[in-house]
Structure 1
Amino acid sequence: MKKTTAHALPQPLPRRGIYRILVCRPNHRLGNTILLTPLIQELEQLYPGAEIDVLAEGDIAEEVFSHFFSIKNVFCLPRRGFKHPVAFLSLLHSVRQTYYDLIIDPCLGSGFSRAMTLHMRGRFTLGFSDDRRGSGLTHAVPTDVAGKHMARRAIHLVRWACTEHTGQVQASASYPSLDIRLSSEERVQGLAALRQVLDEGERAADHPVVGIFANATGAKRYSSEWWAQFIQSFKSNCAASSIVELIPAHGHSMLGETCGGYYSSDIRRMGAVMANVDLMISADCGVMHLAVASKVPTVGLFSVTDASVYAPYGSGCCSLLTTGRSPQDAASQVVLSFASILGSPRQGGSRRDAPSNELGAGAHRQSHFDQLGLSI
């Protein structure tokens, strides 16, 4: 992390005496909410005795953070709050009754998040700004500290503000990962649900199971024709694998019902099922981040957005840039990169036999990813 000398903080955030923390992230999108989980883990490490509240939008955050013991309240603003002014203002008034030791705006460039941060009452307020004096924050961190990937920006924010050597982020090889903290019980139930989706022959065989989520918003969505060619090529390269489609929220298959499908409007149940497949392949979307946070090796397909900002963020996960590549080439790249998972049937049973928090795929594939144009 590069050194930043301008706009040095008058003093670092204290490491003691902070017990009530509010994180302001009023956004309803699944991916943006899950990308907040590394920040919560970082705060748990920095302030292990603190209680954390989250100001969110919509009800997704309640599901994402339901197993975080450190989080006391998830305040969910109504979506499009201007259409629900009474509920919106009532909730803001309720949150404002608490005086926090630290209020964090983890966003880069969100006026709404900043407004909520400054509206609440707290001893210290933290966020990105190049205008230290005019930001209204007690601790304004220069925007060039943020870095590229969304999951790390809030980590850099907090580490820069807490460091004893103000103006420099201490280099660290360790960053918290995406994690919705699925319980063992959830994983076991996810395994049972997955087995029901597979046909009898697939349940009996020790073959890899690959999950596909084929939906995304706007230009990030690949056509049904693209997916048909991708799957045909994937199966020809990995005939022993079984494919399960994770059905989008609208409840309709994106793959023409060509394979078994699992649907749930509960994101934790969907995560529990994905946790039991051997590999997830997804377009760039919130479910891609949910797969990573469920601790399954994940390939994110990118053609529009910047993969350096939104790539799957976790060990054994990678992004694949599909621009200029045919569906057949993309499928071949995935099979070749994950040969240790998709190759010959493994001895001694499959990952699906015993749910685990450990990833079988590791960083040893990094050099191979680099050769193929994939990136972690």
Structure 2
Amino acid sequence: MTQRAFPILFITATRIGDAVLSSGLIKFLADQIPNARFTIVSGPLAAPLFAHVPGLDRVIVMEKGKGKGHWFKLWNQVRHRKWGLVVDLRGSGTAYFLRREKRAVWKRNTGEPIHKVVEAAKVLKLEGDPPAPHLYITPDVQALADQLLAPRPGEPAGPILAVGPASNWVGKIWPIERFAQTTQQLLGPGGALAGGRLLILGGPGDGRMVEELRMASARGRYVDLTGKVDLLTAYAALKRADLFIGNDSGLMHIAAAAGVPTIGLFGPSDERRYGPWGSLTKAVRGPRSFEQFLAVDPDLSQAIRHMSDLPVTTVVKAAKALLAEVKAKAVEEDAAEPTVEDAAVTPELQAVVEDAAPAEEAATPEDAIDADRT
């Protein structure tokens, strides 16, 4: 007997990084509820991340407008359907005014800082290890990325060092000349990735920034995809990399989700909440703590190059240590198959999976929608 579809409305973040960090919940729900059908609501920048989610009915791109009008517009788009589950990672009141069987709504953490991946798992009341970020791609996307990374005829492939030198704010950008020095030390003779190639990634507006990186690279030994590929193709390309180094950004989180060993460069952002997620990742900062940056720039909005106190030697040392850790782990995995502990399904989610009783008809929203936080 064919199971009836279980419709899930999943309201995720506006920013790319936050959307990536919560993406593991989609995989978790897809794995737990085989008949799940997803409608995903996202901001315009993050929306392309969800193009290949299994069981996808629709991606709704929600752009912020004046006041709370965008929330009422969203409600009008989704109110006609009875939802099995509404997951709202924006903390809005939307779920309270829809017909649904279950709802899971983000609430602001008022205690000690916790990582955004852990915070997302708490929305579904998951126990055990939180679902790691996960993005879905098709074989065609991976094939395109592999084609873009293919070495020239007669040239050895070698390892790939990927870098993401941009970010959404000048305060989080490590000086480009230091990226150049770091890549030269790692890819040059005697380096940890000697003889390898440089993969440069960034958005459409980052081309001029990375010019110095191209100039400093050995001729023909770099692949510059800055502004040339979409987010999922960048994700597929990163799956082939041996190491990623980048500023705290959405691209850094995409790299960590791709499983590439990741060095995240931090200064005026909190690695306790936004550090790259995964066992083979490291958050690296200079001598100042996040709180010291807050003291100088309380709103974290000034056009100050906060990252200037992070030296090249610190980043190179961290990269070498992480690569050594990767090799050690590979040896351990050859000796014994690793075991993975999945997140446990709580009774609350089990009730959703087992088709909980329908909720009462929802009311019309008035002024309860207040969710422009992420």
Same fold (TM over 0.5): yes
Cα distance, 1:157–1:28 mapped onto 2, change above 3 Å: closer
Per the TM alignment, residue 212 of structure 1 is displaced from its structure 2 partner at its CA by: 0.7
Q: 1:265 to 1:187 in 2, by over 3 A?
A: closer
| Shift in CA distance, 84/182, structure 1 to aligned 2, threshold 3 Å | same
Matches for 1:45-84 after TM superposition, within 5 Å = 45-58=31-44, 60-61=46-47, 63-77=48-62, 79-82=63-66
Deviates more, 1:48-57 or 1:284-293: 48-57
Conserved 8 A contact 2:15-2:45: no
What aligned pairs does 1:232-251 form with structure 2 within 5 A after superposition?
Answer: 232-236=184-188, 237-238=191-192, 239-251=194-206
Q: 1:97 to 1:296 in 2, by over 3 A?
A: same
CA contact (8 A) 1:208 1:342 kept: no
Correspondence list, 1:229-268, <5 A:
229-236=181-188, 237-238=191-192, 239-255=194-210, 256=212, 257-258=214-215, 259=217, 260=222, 261-263=224-226, 264-268=228-232
Deviating more after overlay: 43-52 vs 303-312: 43-52
Q: Distance in 1 between matches of 2:258 and 2:209?
A: 22
**Matched letter for residue 211 of structure 1:** A
Equivalent runs, 1:1-376 vs 2, <5 Å = 19-25=6-12, 27-58=13-44, 60-61=46-47, 63-77=48-62, 79-82=63-66, 89-107=72-90, 113-129=91-107, 143=109, 148-159=114-125, 170=127, 172=128, 174-195=129-150, 198=151, 204-218=155-169, 219-236=171-188, 237-238=191-192, 239-255=194-210, 256=212, 257-258=214-215, 259=217, 260=222, 261-263=224-226, 264-323=228-287, 325-339=310-324
What is the distance in 2 between the residues matched to 1:361 and 1:217? Answer: 38
3-state SS of the aligned residue for 1:72?
Answer: strand
The equivalent residue for 2:307 is none
2:330 and 2:44 mapped to 1: Cα distance? 34
d(CA) in 2 for partners of 1:363, 1:308: 28
Contact 1:233–1:332 (Cα < 8 Å) also in 2: no
Give SS of 1:81's match: coil
- Alpha-carbon distance in 2 for matches of 1:213, 1:229: 14
Q: Is the Cα contact below 8 Å between 1:274 and 1:296 reproduced in 2? A: yes
- The alpha-carbon distance between structure 1 residues 29 and 275, as it changes in their structure 2 partners (threshold 3 A), is same
Aligned residue identity for 1:214: P
Alpha carbons of 1:319 and 1:278: their partners in 2 closer, same or farther (altered >3 Å)? same
Give CA-to-partner distance per residue, 1:114-158, whole Å, 9 cap, x none: 13333433243322459xxxxxxxxxxxx4799711122222221
- The change in CA–CA distance for 1:206 and 1:228 in structure 2 (over 3 A counts) is closer
SS, match of residue 338 in structure 1? helix
Q: Does the CA-based 8 Å contact 1:42-1:155 persist in structure 2?
A: no
Unaligned runs of 5+ in 1: 1-15, 108-112, 131-142, 161-169, 344-358, 365-376
- Correspondence for 2:339: none
Q: CA deviation at 1:334?
A: 0.6
Give the aligned partner of residue 296 of structure 2: none
1:198-227 Cα distance to aligned partner (Å, 9 max, x none): 5566xx325211111100122111122332
Once the two structures are TM-superposed, the CA of residue 341 in structure 1 deviates from its matched residue by 6.3
Instruction: Render the CA deviation track for 1:49-102: whole Å, top value 9, x for unaligned.
Output: 3322222222632x212221133222111x2323996x8755431211112232
> Residue 288 of structure 1: CA displacement?
0.9
Cα distance in 2 between the residues matched to 1:226 and 1:35: 27
Distance in 1 between residues matched to 2:258 and 2:331, nearest whole Å: 14
Q: Greater RCO between the two (CA within 8 Å, min separation 6)?
A: 2
Contact 1:229 1:328 in 2 (8 A): no
Q: Secondary structure at the match of 1:250?
A: helix
Distance in 1 (alpha carbons) for counterparts of 2:9 and 2:20: 17
Aligned residues: 298
Note the aligned Cα RMSD (angstroms).
3.5
CA contact (8 A) 2:280 2:326 kept: no
